[in-house]
Amino acid sequence: MAFAGQTPTIIVLKEGTDASQGRGQMLSNINACLAIQDTIKSTLGPYGGDLLLVDANGRQTITNDGATVMKLLDVVHPAARILTDISRSQDAEVGDGTTSVVILAGEILKESKSFVEEGVPSRVIVKGFRNAARLAENKIKEIAVKIDKANQRETLLKLATTAMSSKLIKRNSVFFADMVVNAVGALDQDELNEKLIGMKKVPGGGLQDSMFVDGVAFKKTFAYAGFEQQPKSFTNPKIVCLNVELELKSEKDNAEVRVEQVSEYQAIVDAEWQIIFQKMEALYKTGAQVVLSKLPIGDLATQYFADRNIFCAGRVPQEDMERVVQAVGASVQSTCTDIRDSHLGTCARFEEKQIGGERFNIFSGCPGAKTCTLILRGGAEQFIAEVERSLHDAIMIVKKAIKNDTIVAGGGALEMEISKYLREYSRTLTSKQQLIIAAFARALEIIPRQLCDNAGFDATDMLNKLRMRHAKGDTWAGIDIVNEGIRDNLEAFVWEPVAVKVNAIQAATEAACLILSVDETIKNQESAQPQAGPQMPRGAAQRALRGRGRGMPRR
């Protein structure tokens, strides 16, 4: 019953829905993101530590790669998940700077916390940060240094070395930098499709035993009797790639065939053999010397091909088959009939080679798409997996540098220069934007500060020295990690592509602005995390709830 002049209560949301809003909700979102930043910031830089992550199945991952850490962290808070998204986008776009972008986004939110507490409208804060990011981007492009095309290889080696300086393989960075530059150089320079660079992990040996293969290499697949009788090397072979099963298959789905005479049963068996022999004979007549298939090639076919000096491999992984097809110029066939010469591929040399405890099929001198394979060696599988992640970052950096021929100095040099520029610009303003842009400038200093903290340096003393050097016009003054001091990082060859820095600032700013623009969260009861304990089937749960509503609980 509603009294006169009183508005009746209207229930819009389902009972049990959790709705929180206002300044407290914004601060909660910021604090959740700062918790993520605290987790990952210790991994930044050459002296950053590694994180040991253990998933629900007990599988361990040791890494300091930001994108990998963010992917493996089981983040529940919806606002904090945005940091996971920007880390992945940074990894997909430029490959490196995945830790920096999360740390920077967290610091921008930390600087905005005081404004939120003081009641500054979020739209005013967002406008200031976006304006600061735009000014920073323009300044970066203004002071960036162009790569000398005459010495491009030397520049790419320096960039790859810098990308690996914070990784486990930094002691072997010169060896791997050369491998990375060769790998990217082996690709088609117009497309630079990094997916055509295969990476294969072989436990055992040392890091220096890793090798670069100019072509396609993949591990020997499951083999039947007769495999060892096949030839293991060819010059200019014809290659056929199949999606066909060359095996006598047992009947599936409880198939039933009723026969009344032995001769009828024998006719069925003979028909099966006839079908597989026709397939093998058709392949033999194509003149192919190497037969590859995504599906199994059984013992009968293996022996058949061995008798005719043909190499075969079944169960070839999809990724490897696609690279082989593009490299040798073949096309995958779903039938063994009507295979023409145009469907076959070729390469200068095919061989099976022993590498460590594994045997590899190697196709080199391929006329099709330019591709290569990096075979990584090391003592432990966890270590080799981290090497793979490190090389991926370096490959992406070199790829970006080829497409965008401008670089900047790393080691906190760029961040300090942009911070100085934004502080000076903010003093020319008279509105609230002055404080917000100055806060953005302070947030940028987190990169050199965290580099110092992780290396055990006095961060306050170092930052004061950096501010003094930049105030005097030393644009590229940054942290000297080796000698615990300040140096010109452009002359010290601590280089990074402009794309890494620009993308990091853009992504971090957009993430911070997105989180600041949220002032209400509505969580549906059904989307909440299930409680621990035995779970009831959904239908039974609904019946139980209906029963309780009538006062008749179900047993």
DSSP collapsed to 3 states, 402-450:
HHCCEEEECCCHHHHHHHHHHHHHHCCCCCCHHHHHHHHHHHHCHHHHH
Q: Residue 172: what pLDDT? A: 87
| CB of 407 closer than 8 Å to CB of 497 | yes
| CB of 307 closer than 8 Å to CB of 277 | no
Q: Residue 427: what pLDDT? A: 93
CATH 1.10.560.10 residue spans of the chain: 17-146+409-517
Instruction: Name, of 25-39, 100-114, 380-394, the range with top average pLDDT.
Output: 100-114
Q: Extract long-range pairs of 426-434: CB within 8 Å, 24+ residues apart.
A: 432/120, 432/124, 432/128, 433/124, 433/127, 433/128, 433/131
Instruction: Tell me the pLDDT tens digit for each residue of 418-469.
Output: 999 999 999 998 888 999 999 999 999 999 999 999 999 999 999 999 999 9
| pLDDT higher than threshold 90 for residue 537 | no
Residue 274 half-sphere exposure toward CB, CA atoms < 13 A = 6
Q: How confident is the model at residue 543 (pLDDT cuts 50, 70, 90)?
A: very low
- Region 153-158: what's the mean pLDDT? 88
Region at 291 (left for phi over 0; alpha for psi -120 to 50; beta for the rest): beta
- Region 282-297: what's the mean pLDDT? 90
Distance, CA of 224 to CA of 245 (rounded, Å): 14
Give which of 45, 47, 154, 142 is closest to 493, Cα–Cα.
154
| pLDDT higher than threshold 90 for residue 60 | no
| pLDDT higher than threshold 60 for residue 495 | yes
What are the CA-CA distances from residue 494 to residues 164, 365, 489, 503 (Å)? 11, 36, 5, 19
| pLDDT higher than threshold 60 for residue 551 | no
Distance, CA of 237 to CA of 275 (rounded, Å): 26
| pLDDT higher than threshold 90 for residue 415 | yes
Average pLDDT of the residues of the chain: 84
Residue 52 backbone dihedrals phi, psi, to 5 degrees:
-100, 110
Instruction: Tell me the pLDDT tens digit for each residue of 304-342.
Output: 899 999 999 999 999 889 999 989 988 899 888 888 888
Task: Please tell me the class of the 17-146+409-517 domain.
Answer: mainly alpha
The more confidently predicted of residues 261 and 350 is 350
Q: Residue 483: what pLDDT? A: 87
Residue 47 backbone dihedrals phi, psi, to 5 degrees:
-105, 15
The runs of H, that is alpha helices, within 73-121 are: 81-93, 98-117
| CB of 95 closer than 8 Å to CB of 467 | no
Q: Which CATH number fits domain 217-253+262-368: 3.60.20.10, 3.50.7.10, 3.40.50.300, 1.10.10.10?
A: 3.50.7.10
**Neighbour count for residue 186 (Cβ, 10 Å):** 18
CATH architecture under which domain 151-214+374-404 falls: 2-Layer Sandwich (3.30)
| pLDDT higher than threshold 50 for residue 547 | no
Rounded to the nearest angstrom, the gap between the alpha carbon of residue 104 and the centroid of all alpha carbons in its chain is 20
CATH 3.30.260.10 residue spans of the chain: 151-214+374-404
| CB of 253 closer than 8 Å to CB of 277 | no
| CB of 198 closer than 8 Å to CB of 217 | yes
**Neighbour count for residue 270 (Cβ, 10 Å):** 10
| pLDDT higher than threshold 90 for residue 48 | no
